[in-house]
Structure 1
Amino acid sequence: MPTHAEPVSPVVLYVCADRSPAGPGAAAQCARTEGQAFAQERGLTIAEVVTDTYGEPDPVRRTGWRRVRQLVQTGHVTEVLVRWPCAIAPESAHELRHRETTWLQDHGVRLRYTWAPLSARSDEAC
């Protein structure tokens, strides 16, 4: 694990993968494990894991995403980790995803994708 001379700001891991609120399934567990490994490899501290049930296209109508926004607004996190873009909003509602990404950026918060094919790009571009 990398060591850092300066303190690392905490991040939030957002998991929106399961279609049933009954409990975490394989998709949510995979997203959580992947996010924790991503954070550990980069020396990030996960302040909170926030979950939502997949299905509602508008993120601000989900309890978990509203919690993410609250953490951002209060300055408790500087980055949001999410497995892939569709966890924020499905492709059919991509404008909602862009709205939320812009909102995060406007609040000085970086969005990073933890899924390997996207994580290298989010490390460079965001």
Structure 2
Amino acid sequence: MAVLYVCADRGTQMRGLAADRAESEGRAFAEQHGLTVTEVVTDAYGDPHPTRRPGWLRVRALAEAGTVSQVLVRWPAAIAPDAAREFQGREIRWLESRGARVRYTWAPLANAAVR
């Protein structure tokens, strides 16, 4: 079972385009890899600290409960911006310690090992 987490910029020109792309990409990735997406969780892009976002807290709760074994995100910056890489690593380790593997759905990263 997998949760698809979408945290994308809500641009002013084409509102929702980035989030829509991230979701459709994530669903395609799940289908390609035989994963069942049980929930799509979204957050507005902005706060660099993942544990201050309600959607990310939901992802953590699902992992803590053992409800999901996979967390699908488009790329590391969906967890935390590159300027806050320490949060990316911390959150990935936290999820892994609860048996949830983080997978990137963006094609250039889809086969890369998560660090």
TM-score of the aligned structures, taking structure 1 as reference length:
0.85
Q: What residue in structure 2 maps to residue 7 of structure 1?
A: none
- CA contact under 8 A between 1:39 and 1:46: conserved in structure 2? yes
Work out which of the residue numbers 74, 79, 91 in structure 2 matches 1:83. Answer: 74
Q: What residue in structure 1 maps to residue 44 of structure 2?
A: 53
Q: What residue in structure 1 maps to residue 6 of structure 2?
A: 15
The amino acid across from 1:78 in the alignment is S
Larger Rg: 1
Q: What residue in structure 2 maps to residue 108 of structure 1?
A: 99
Q: How far apart are the structure 1 equivalents of 2:84 and 2:37?
A: 28
Aligned length: 112
Deviation at 1:68, TM superposition (A): 0.2
Q: How far apart are the structure 1 equivalents of 2:86 and 2:54?
A: 20
Q: What residue in structure 1 maps to residue 24 of structure 2?
A: 33
TM-score of the aligned structures, taking structure 2 as reference length:
0.92
The amino acid across from 1:121 in the alignment is A
Identity, % of aligned positions: 57
- CA contact under 8 A between 1:11 and 1:79: conserved in structure 2? yes
Q: Which runs of 5+ in 2 are unaligned?
A: none
